[in-house]
Amino acid sequence: MHHPDLSPISEYEYCEQVIQHLTAQLNADPQDVRTYVLRGNAYLDQRRFHLAIDDYTRALELTPDDPIAYNNRGIAYRSLGDPARALADYRQALALDGTYRDAYNNLGLALSDLGDFAAAVQAYTQAITIDPYDWHAYNNRGLALWALRRRDEARRDYAKVKELLGGAPGGAPSH
């Protein structure tokens, strides 16, 4: 029996419906950059990384100054195990928007993938400077610091994560 408070379709099926709708929009207007990015996001959610890359690339062909499309394409490349291409996209996103917190965090992840933990710490620190409530960046920086054997600093970052997640009901930061 279906529970009345739950969707009758799976998340995957919902994404499929979104993709079908966005594809119809693109058929009507193949120059709609935002729709390529949205469909790329839906493909990313489905872990269909090559299709996501195709859509972000098309969006960037139409609008080469979109930091979100670069960042999200970087996520897809990293998910495919290509941190070098991901790095290039994150760096381009940051060249376009130097205050893009998520791109700094993602840059740190790709640098960590490549074993460059010192540079990763710098990227995470930049994300934290932009948003001191970003628990993801503190957690990721803690992991990189731990890899560098800077254990006391890592523990401070982990304590900050606990503080940020424990500060309000539901784990939301209290600010």
| C-alpha 132 chain-centroid distance | 17
Residues of the chain with CATH 1.25.40.10: 7-97, 99-168
Residue 9 binned pLDDT confidence (cut-offs 50, 70, 90): confident
Q: Smallest Cα–Cα separation from 48: which of 24, 75, 30?
A: 75
**Over pLDDT 70: what percentage of the chain?**
91
**pLDDT tens track for 161-175:** 999 999 544 444 444
| C-alpha 106 chain-centroid distance | 6
- Helix (H) or strand (E) holding 55, with range, is helix 49-62
Length of the chain: 175
CA distance 162 to 171: 9
Per the prediction, the chain carries an average pLDDT of 92
Measured from the Cβ of residue 52, the count of other Cβ atoms closer than 10 Å reads 26
Superfamily classification of domain 99-168: Tetratricopeptide repeat domain (1.25.40.10)
Assessment of whether the complete model's pTM goes beyond 0.95? no
Sign of the Cα pseudo-torsion (172, 128, 36, 84, in order)? negative
Please give the CATH architecture assigned to the domain spanning 7-97: Alpha Horseshoe (1.25)
**pLDDT tens track for 100-124:** 999 999 999 999 999 999 999 999 9
**pLDDT tens track for 47-99:** 999 999 999 999 999 999 999 999 999 999 999 999 999 999 999 999 999 99
Q: What's at 85, amino acid-wise?
A: R
pLDDT at 169: 43
Q: What is the DSSP letter of 4?
A: T
